Every structure is written in structure tokens, then in C-alpha cells.
Structure 1
């Protein structure tokens, strides 16, 4: 990957036209730098922080993605304010669950992959193209997943060609599935998904979808110890972002705080959440 001593020039591979995929270039020139190509000890399981829970739902204008802030390592809270939702380019978001370090590294590589494609081709990659590239990255991580270092992201974006928001989920082998209305991943996903089913309806406005996401994460935290609930003392709120025709952006913390405060107050007399 470096020039020969005394030459002071980049290797020919850097100066030759090739694929618009940054991942393919690295795989050809220095495959050991890719997360899925690194050798690990033969130990069957590696203890590392894990992040959960992520919720995504479509509303009247786009897609909202929200994640709690807790990362766990076994029965220990490894981190209380982890960020699990990322903007991957101008019109897409990704939320991560699984082994935190590997997941964050994969997201950073995915961000570079999309930026590299745009610079080489001069246009944004299609939303399905982005979803397929992420699928290939997850498939490349299968070896690490077999040793316990799993990564299961949730991808959402605004399809400029169709004029609508779309959600994609994955399995450990890179299998990709489009979710029509909403989805959740992580250890608290079963509880969050059940909450969203009861509260979601077509055509929600952005404020209503934010309320649904906060309610779902609250229910997940109520039943799943790995999911962090609203931390009023530390002022830690879920990370929330949305993507629509105007692009991907994060919901201001003050707006999230207000919704969380309303949800907590509404449940003060009825912690179970029944209505």
C-alpha cells in the first residue's frame, strides 16, 4: 500500500481507473484492513459491548429511526450514552445492533463507500444499491459473527425515484428484506415491535411518529434489561433521526426531551402503559 523507498510516488493501483466501490479496492489491495478479513483467536466467543434497541417507522413524509443509548457487556452496563443511529449519506440512515465496535467500524466503512461512489460516478447511488452494498458488508462479516461478533443493522432511506421512504432489515448472512411499515432490531425489539404495532397508523405526521418511537423504546426498556430507558437524572434521551425529501437529519435533543417528558408524565399514574 506504500510507495517503494526513494520513488516518492503512489503505487500504480492508485492511479489506475477501476471500480467505483471503495470496499472492492481495499479488498484487492489490502484485504487485511477490512473488518471481515481479520484473523481472530480461536476462542469461540469474544466478550464485547453490545448495543440495542433500534426502531424505524414510516410516516406521511419519510422514515424515522430511533435508538436507545445503552450498551451492555454481559450483565454490566458498558456505556450509557452510546450513539446507535448514523446518517450514512444525504438521504439514508442506519441504526446498529450487535457488537458495538464492529458495527461502528462497518458504518464508517459504509459511509466512505457511498461517498467514494458519489465522487467516482458523479451521482448518488440508488437506495436499493446502498441497501445491497450494506448487505454485502454484513455477509463479509459472517466469519466474525460465527465467533459472537454479530452486526445486524437497520437501514432506512428516502427513495428519490419513488418519492417515498423505505426500510430494509438484514440477517447475519447478509439476507436483505424490505419492511413495508415499521421494524425493530436488538434485544428489546420484540417488545418495541409490539408497541409500534398498537400505535402506528398510515400517514402519521413527524411529531406523531416521534411519539410512537419514544413509546416503543420506553416499552422495550421496561421489559429488556439491555435497553436503556429515559434517563431523566443524566438527561440522556434516545437518538432520533428522520429522512425524507429534504434529506437525512437528526431531531433536535430539546424536541426529543419534550416528548420523553410527556410520555414519562403520562405514565406516572399507570406505569404499565395500558390506556
Structure 2
């Protein structure tokens, strides 16, 4: 692989409306300017804890972090806020984990967070998160659409459609989970 080529892709949007929490992601995985996969699943659900998560970045790294999040949720009896903080602390300080390149958007019925490898655990004021290469486009669209009569699922789909129309590393193959 040419060292100038980088893995690109992923747009994740997370939002809350009408008692529903939605995490949706596109399906494109790119290496440089080549699409390698169009139907990747970048959104996961932890049914036993009522948590949904979307990840941007290296797939293997993101899956490792998802497994770690699941373990933290088990350890802290499903307390997402505590699990997110503990995961971020481990991610920042552990020699193995700190090399992982990913970003996570996670939510339960009460909280939404962005978790990063720099130790950040951020809760948006408006309950809307956009991460990944097209994250800012999806975030902007969701912020406008949240004020309409559209349902949460429709907003998430439309926000990803907007991102896919603008960002070359985002497609319109949507995977969605809701709680």
C-alpha cells in the first residue's frame, strides 16, 4: 500500500427526537480514491444494555473499542456515562489502545457521547452528533431537520443523504439502529 494512501470514509449521525434515539451510518469504505466496500456496517447495538454506537475510523480499531465499551458497560452495570469515561481513560493511557484510530458516537435512552482517543467524552447540548468524513454535513442537515415534523429515522436518513451528496467518502447505503 502506498503510504500516501489513507483509509477514508464513514459518516455517522446520532440524534434524539420524539422519544427515539437513532444512530445511522453509511456503508462506504475507501482506500485513497478507491471504494473497497459499499455496504460496511458501522453501527452496532448492545441489546443487553440498551446502547447503540457508531464508529468512524479503522474498522478493526473501532470493533476493538466497541468490545471494550461492551466490557465497560458490563463492569459498570450499564452506566453509559461511567463506561464512556473509563473507556476514554484506557484509550488515552494504554500503550496498545492509544494507537487505535477511531471515533465513537454512543447513546442510551438518556445520554449521547462522542468518545475519542485523546480522552474526550463529549455530550452535545442538543443531542445531535455527526462524526467521520461527512459528519459535519450530516450534523448540519440534522440540526436543520430536527426542527421539522419529520421523525427521527427520516431525519437520520436525509442527513446521510445530504452527506453522501457532498462527501466523496460517504455513500447512501444506510445502516441504522434505534432505541
Aligned residue among 124, 133, 144 for 1:198: 144
Aligned residue among 151, 154, 159 for 2:102: 151
What is the correspondence of 1:117-196 to structure 2 with a 5 Å cutoff? 117=75, 124-139=77-92, 140=94, 143-144=98-99, 149-158=100-109, 165-181=110-126, 182-196=128-142
Indicate the structure whose relative CO is greater, using CA pairs within 8 Å and at least 6 residues apart.
Answer: 2
Instruction: Return the offset for 1:220.
Output: 0.4
Determine if contact 1:62/1:242 at 8 Å carries over to the other structure: yes
Unaligned residue ranges in structure 1 (runs of 5+): 1-44, 119-123, 159-164, 230-236, 244-275
CA RMSD of superposed structures (Å) = 2.4
Determine if contact 2:88/2:119 at 8 Å carries over to the other structure: yes
What is the alpha-carbon distance in structure 1 between the residues aligned to residue 9 and residue 49 of structure 2? 24
Aligned residue among 108, 111, 114 for 2:73: 114
The structure having more radius of gyration, on CA atoms, is 1
Structure-1-length-normalised TM-score: 0.57
Q: Tell whether 2:48 aligns with 1:105.
A: no
Q: Tell me the residue number matched to 2:33.
A: 75
Evaluate the alpha carbon distance shift between residue 138 and residue 154 of structure 1 in structure 2; reply closer, same or farther with a 3 A threshold: farther
**Higher strand residue share:** 2
Structure-2-length-normalised TM-score: 0.85
Q: Tell whether 2:178 aligns with 1:242.
A: yes
Q: Tell me the residue number matched to 2:170.
A: 227
SS in 1 for 2:64: helix
Aligned length: 173
What is the alpha-carbon distance in structure 2 between the residues aligned to residue 228 and residue 219 of structure 1? 10
Determine if contact 2:84/2:115 at 8 Å carries over to the other structure: no
